[in-house]
Amino acid sequence: MTEPVSATTSSKDKIREFVLEDFAKPKGVNQITDEEPLMSSGIIDSLGIFRLVAFLEETFKVRIGDEEITHDNLQTVDAIEKLVQAKKK
Residue 1 counted as domain residue: no
Whether 78 is covered by a domain: the verdict is yes
**For 21-49, what is each residue's pLDDT tens digit?**
999 999 999 999 999 999 999 999 999 99
3-class state of residue 84 by DSSP = helix
Q: Is 87:62 a contact under the CB 8 Å cutoff?
A: yes
Q: What is the CATH number of the domain that holds 75?
A: 1.10.1200.10
- CA 37 to chain CA centroid, Å, is 12
When mean pLDDT is compared across 6-10, 32-36, 49-53, the lowest value belongs to 6-10
3 part of a folded domain: no
* Residues spanned by the domain of 56: 8-88
Q: Could you tell me the pLDDT band of residue 3, with boundaries at 50, 70 and 90?
A: very low
Residue 2 maps to a domain: no
**36 found inside a domain:** yes
The reply to whether 33 falls in a domain is yes
Residue 73 domain-assigned? yes
- Is 8 strand, coil or helix? helix
Average pLDDT, the chain: 91
